[in-house]
Structure 1
């Protein structure tokens, strides 16, 4: 996938002012340093005393190569990205473990009970989920996708009752051969906030992260679906405030227990 270099400032101009935040480790190669902090700008991230374990859960947008994760890691000291998938090349060394499985549908991940084994292998404190793109492509109903999300949330909380969960309103889509995908994405994203509010608890909050608005499939992807370099930067900027808030709380890890029985499917 070809990637064009684009300054972070240019990408941030397309985002609401509240999301134009300063990202915190040293800049990645090729990424200019952020401007000096202004009044109201969050201070640089402070490393937590205990590394917070973060699982990035998704499909190829997350894992192939998912260089937005590398940009986040460079700016969040003390975060330990976890997953059963290894890092892909992003031009610089980073903690690239993840749970991004190319081609996977949320409905299939839930139905096949894949997530519990991934959770038991990695024990995350935070899950950040961008799933649903392949469901939309396969024309799965919104209700079925949200039912799958509900199953995944229950599995996360079975692993850790105090799991902090970030759920993306997914990137827009305009691929060749799927003229209805854009409309289907909009319908799913419109339903996500109400779904999240119905399941969020004080002990295990669900934060909705808007990855949809301000993302341009014409300039931020090579194919109408997968992010290029400019798209990766926009994705990182959108995740950052919610992820920073989630990792700023010390992890509350339950006693680790094995999940009884083999997974179905």
Structure 2
């Protein structure tokens, strides 16, 4: 009994000391995450799109996340409605505006799904080069940003173009990573099928849920993207 009492008392003292230390430490700032892309990021057909389920998964895990961007939409179940998804926009259009967004919102993590509108407009074959230039612009302005680059989801009426574009993305991402940038490939195309599309272009609720799951797994695979070190500790904001 005596030994148990000593251990219990020691544990209580340690707990109090830990509580004091924790209360003295500054709270980590939420990680600024920018969902970046076109109407699929915006959530056409299902306002909020993949961001709804992704937000809920991250919050349920206790992650402090601040979605950022100049746009906002989504239901009440989406606790943070900000994003940078622009309906109808191509890679070049996103590229032309990116500097201003990055300066305004200074994201620590970016979720990039872009290229769908390039697949049925002029020069789909040049889309990989435009994507490479966009990645360079983002990582040039924010060298420490964790940039997740997704292959685009199926677009049945332009499938050959989509497949050719997606096939080029792993090599682009690899070259940026080898150059020291924090660029990560996210395989999104294989996660959805035509049955997950509401209108042949944009996902239905099930499809957006599948996208959220892929983004979530990708974020967890790179601890720094959620403000954590690989050991689970906090990473300074900035």
Q: TM-score range by the shorter chain?
A: 0.7 to 0.9
* Match among 24, 37, 40 for residue 61 of structure 1: 40
After TM superposition, which residue ranges in structure 1, 4 or more long, deviate above 6 angstroms?
none
Alignment match, 1:74 = 56
Q: Map 1:168-247 onto structure 2 (within 5 A).
A: 168-174=150-156, 179=157, 181-201=158-178, 204-217=181-194, 219-244=195-220, 245=222, 246-247=225-226
Q: TM-score, length-normalised on structure 1?
A: 0.69
- For 1:200, what is the secondary structure of its paired residue? helix
Larger Rg, first or second structure (1 or 2): 2
Alignment match, 1:94 = 79
The answer as to whether partners of 1:66 and 1:232 remain within 8 angstroms in 2 is no
Q: Following the alignment from structure 1 to structure 2, what is the Cα–Cα distance between the partners of residues 170 and 92?
A: 26
Which ranges of structure 1 fall in alignment gaps of 5 or more residues? 1-47, 254-265
Q: How many residue pairs are counted as aligned between the two chains?
A: 196
Whether 1:164 aligns to 2:146 is yes
Per-residue deviation at 1:116?
0.3
* Shift in CA distance, 145/51, structure 1 to aligned 2, threshold 3 Å: same
* Shift in CA distance, 251/216, structure 1 to aligned 2, threshold 3 Å: farther
The answer as to whether partners of 1:52 and 1:251 remain within 8 angstroms in 2 is no
Aligned-residue Cα RMSD (Å) equals 1.9
Q: Following the alignment from structure 1 to structure 2, what is the Cα–Cα distance between the partners of residues 204 and 95?
A: 28
Which ranges of structure 2 fall in alignment gaps of 5 or more residues? 1-26, 230-234
Higher helix share: 2
Q: Following the alignment from structure 1 to structure 2, what is the Cα–Cα distance between the partners of residues 93 and 163?
A: 24
Q: Following the alignment from structure 1 to structure 2, what is the Cα–Cα distance between the partners of residues 159 and 189?
A: 25
Q: Following the alignment from structure 1 to structure 2, what is the Cα–Cα distance between the partners of residues 214 and 93?
A: 22
Alignment match, 1:49 = 28
The answer as to whether partners of 1:221 and 1:231 remain within 8 angstroms in 2 is yes
Post-superposition Cα deviations, 1:61-100, rounded to whole Å, max 9, x if no partner, equal 00133421121111212011100111x2335242110000
Post-superposition Cα deviations, 1:203-253, rounded to whole Å, max 9, x if no partner, equal 532111111113111x21111110111001110111112123221342552
Q: Following the alignment from structure 1 to structure 2, what is the Cα–Cα distance between the partners of residues 222 and 159?
A: 36
Q: Map 1:20-35 onto structure 2 (within 5 A).
A: none
* Match among 133, 155, 173 for residue 137 of structure 2: 155
- For 2:143, what is the secondary structure of its paired residue? coil
* Match among 107, 115, 119 for residue 92 of structure 2: 107
Q: Following the alignment from structure 1 to structure 2, what is the Cα–Cα distance between the partners of residues 100 and 182?
A: 22
